[in-house]
């Protein structure tokens, strides 16, 4: 018997449906109005989806919950560059406390949930000798486990080779329960140091059999080519689909023969790509004369090649990016423009980038979706057409976690008060 029915919703394929849920899972999806009496009992609760578009709950595949809501502290990033952002954050993180991180992270997690996000991968800067951010986020991971899947990646913001002690802190982070380790090879002092940092990262991950999440080629330099190394090391270590490369901005500037080689390596390795269009569209190209670079990886070409590309929000009101509200549809909207993906056939691949592909990057494919047997963690948007989800970027009417309504935002309506426009 269904304990909860989500009635009158529209699937991505346009089918109007009722979704039957029990014990946190979807037990049936039926055409709207065709009552399945064997699944209905007198105690069954019914939620009216009001004809809204239903999708699996969104997955945020790259965010920094330790840096959120710190923009302007102690200074604003006037150049808009990555290097100034790192310098400001290096000063701000000297003041970190568990209470500070927890309060800011919780505010943003609430924003993410309100926008339909229930699966989050956060990076925690472990360049701080006390690893305050990592330990606080691990505590939140445990505390919120019933409603949010939170993965924590040990991220060496100041580099692995360039920052003495970061290798040991990454090892300690894994002992404490981190879900994976990261690297920032383009931030190391030399190309050779960048490669060495990747080798250390993969060595630690191979021993722990954990995720690898590389901040890869976040630069306008076409000679920054750590993406190929990430793919090769994923194959050599056998970690393959446990590996994610974020940003990959330099790939936009690669010559075509080399880019095709990199595409082949990515496909062979099985690694995931995450693009962060909000921050990279504003941060990249700062040193260019005109024409300025777009700052975005070649999403369309990667998707056409069969590479699962995820789209992430990344920073939210930080020294690196001073905007953002946790709405992944904003990131999708920006990506649609930067990647020239404004055609009708681009709509579903773009939405896949914050659902299926993002969930795959987090290793959450089992039970993810809107079919029988999947977890009943869903979003219902106040639109019917999938394109309107990207065009209007609304908050969900409902966010369901394991079959229970976790958040509800009534649809916004404007009241007009002049007779010429009230018809």
Catalytic residue IDs: 218
DSSP character at residue 325: -
Alpha carbons 11 and 373: distance in angstroms, whole number: 16
Q: Exposure of 315 by Cβ count < 10 A (0-12 exposed, 13-18 middle, 19+ buried)?
A: buried
φ/ψ of 349, rounded to 5, equals: -60, -35
Question: What does the alpha-carbon distance between residue 61 and residue 360 come to, in Å, rounded to a whole number?
Answer: 10
Within 10 Å of residue 206's Cβ, how many Cβ atoms? 16
Q: Tell me how far apart the alpha carbons of residues 417 and 377 are, in angstroms, rounded to a whole number.
A: 39
| H or E segment to which residue 246 belongs | strand 243-247
* Residue indicated by tokens 């993969």: 202
Q: How far is CA 46 from CA 49, 212, 343, in A?
A: 9, 42, 36
Report d(CA 334, CA 353) in Å as an integer.
13
| Residue 301, both tokens | 């070409």
Distance from C-alpha of 264 to C-alpha of 19, rounded to nearest angstrom:
40
CA distance 307 to 286: 29
How many H helices and E strands in the chain?
Answer: 13, 15
């Amino acid at each position: 018997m269904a304990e909860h029915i989500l009635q009158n919703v529209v699937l991505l394929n346009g089918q109007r449906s009722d979704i039957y849920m029990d014990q946190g899972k979807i037990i049936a999806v039926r055409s709207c109005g065709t009552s399945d009496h064997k699944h209905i009992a007198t105690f069954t609760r019914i939620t009216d989806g009001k004809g809204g578009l239903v999708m699996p709950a969104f997955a945020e595949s790259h965010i920094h919950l330790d840096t959120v809501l710190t923009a302007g502290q102690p200074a604003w990033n006037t150049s808009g560059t990555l290097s100034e952002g790192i310098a400001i954050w290096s000063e701000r993180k000297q003041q970190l406390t568990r209470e500070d991180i927890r309060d800011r992270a919780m505010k943003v997690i609430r924003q993410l949930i309100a926008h339909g996000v229930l699966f989050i991968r956060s990076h925690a800067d472990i360049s701080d000798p006390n690893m305050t951010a990592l330990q606080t986020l691990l505590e939140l991971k445990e505390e919120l486990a019933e409603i949010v899947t939170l993965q924590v990646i040990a991220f060496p913001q100041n580099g692995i080779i360039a920052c003495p002690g970061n290798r040991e802190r990454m090892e300690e982070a894994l002992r404490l329960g981190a879900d994976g380790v990261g690297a920032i090879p383009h931030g190391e002092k030399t190309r050779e140091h960048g490669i060495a940092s990747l080798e250390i990262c993969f060595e630690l991950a191979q021993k722990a059999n954990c995720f690898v999440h590389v901040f890869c080629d976040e630069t306008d330099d076409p000679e920054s080519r750590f993406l190929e190394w990430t793919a090769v090391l994923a194959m050599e270590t056998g970690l393959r689909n446990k590996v994610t490369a974020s940003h990959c901005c330099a790939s936009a500037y690669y010559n075509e023969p080399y880019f095709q080689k990199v595409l082949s390596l990515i496909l062979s390795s099985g690694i995931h790509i995450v693009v962060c269009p909000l921050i990279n569209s504003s941060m990249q190209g700062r040193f260019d004369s005109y024409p300025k670079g777009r700052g975005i990886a070649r999403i369309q070409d990667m998707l056409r090649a069969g590479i699962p590309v995820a789209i992430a929000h990344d920073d939210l009101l930080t020294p690196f990016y001073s905007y953002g509200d946790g709405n992944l549809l904003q990131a999708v909207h920006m990506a649609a423009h930067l990647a020239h993906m404004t055609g009708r056939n681009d709509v579903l691949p773009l939405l896949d980038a914050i659902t299926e592909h993002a969930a795959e990057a987090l290793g959450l494919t089992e039970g993810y979706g809107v079919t029988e047997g999947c977890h009943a963690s869903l979003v219902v948007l106040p639109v019917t057409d999938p394109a309107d989800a990207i065009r209007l970027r609304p908050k969900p009417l409902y966010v369901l976690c394991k079959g229970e309504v976790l958040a509800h935002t009534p649809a916004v309506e404007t009241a007009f008060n002049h007779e010429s426009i009230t018809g």
